[in-house]
Amino acid sequence: MLDENETDIDRFYKEARTVRAEIEVLWNEAQVTDVLVKGAVSAAHDRSLQENERGSAVSVGLLNAKKWRKLAELSEKLGRLIEDINQARKKVASGEFKKNK
């Protein structure tokens, strides 16, 4: 019979795996937009950008910022899940839990 905290641990692990997968995908996407932003900055240093080039550079920059912001949020969420897992494990180890009937 599983105790309540062991069930929570399983749920936390499942959610942590999902968040980690989201982080991995978003990290790869952010690396691509980083390259695009660096390219736009380099081009702007070499010459004056045309209006459409400036618009594209701004759009890519904003998209990149959103990706990094989302990565930060997901990283915080993963950190909280790790803490939840550790707390639930401590409760199980100390015997401080309710048995499911």
Helix (H, G, I), strand (E, B) or coil at 8: helix
In a domain, 53, yes or no: yes
In a domain, 100, yes or no: no
Tell me the C-alpha distance between 31 and 71, whole Å. 12
Count the domains in the chain.
1
Is 73's pLDDT higher than 90? yes
Range of the domain at 69: 4-94
The pLDDT assigned to 97 comes to 61
Residue type at position 31:
Q
The pTM of the full predicted model, rounded to 2 decimals, is: 0.76
CA angle 99/1/86 to nearest 5° reads 65
Tell me the C-alpha distance between 26 and 72, whole Å. 11
Q: Where are the beta strands (DSSP E) in 1-101?
A: none
The pLDDT assigned to 50 comes to 85
